[in-house]
Amino acid sequence: MLAEGTTAPDFELPNQDGDTVALSDFDDQHVVVYFYPRADTPGCTTEACDFRDNWERYEDAGVPVLGVSDDPVEDLAAFREKYDLPFDLLSDADGEVATAYDSFGERDVMGDVMDVTFRNTYVVGPDGSIAAAFEGVDPEGHADEVLAAIE
């Protein structure tokens, strides 16, 4: 995990619509960058829907949310539409951004060792540094936990 107070690695990734989203687009505000393994799987759906169900609170706080996985853009578009997610999902196809955030690597998945995105969340502060970090999060109730750390 990246330590609180360190500079958040900047990135540019395509969102579910193929448009480029950069961390620098959110200078001077808090932004949640959450990494998840796979779109439309049980844990990832729970986590995404938790952010969706708390979206009004995030909007009121002026805090954008970015979900990042190694899914292709097309899968992200379908996932976002299926669950009516109001925030951008970003495709980190090669895991480069997740690696920079210590959120990508080998895991044993049902007996196979695979490269996967880890379920970690970062709050990047207005100054571009890591304001809070959550490792191996429980998807249920995580949106409350993140918002509490920002407030």
As annotated, the active-site residues are 44
Give dist(CA 30, CA 129) in Å, integer: 10
Helix (H) or strand (E) holding 47, with range, is helix 42-53
Q: For residue 143, which of 32, 17, 26, 11 has the smallest C-alpha distance?
A: 32
DSSP conformational letter for 128? S
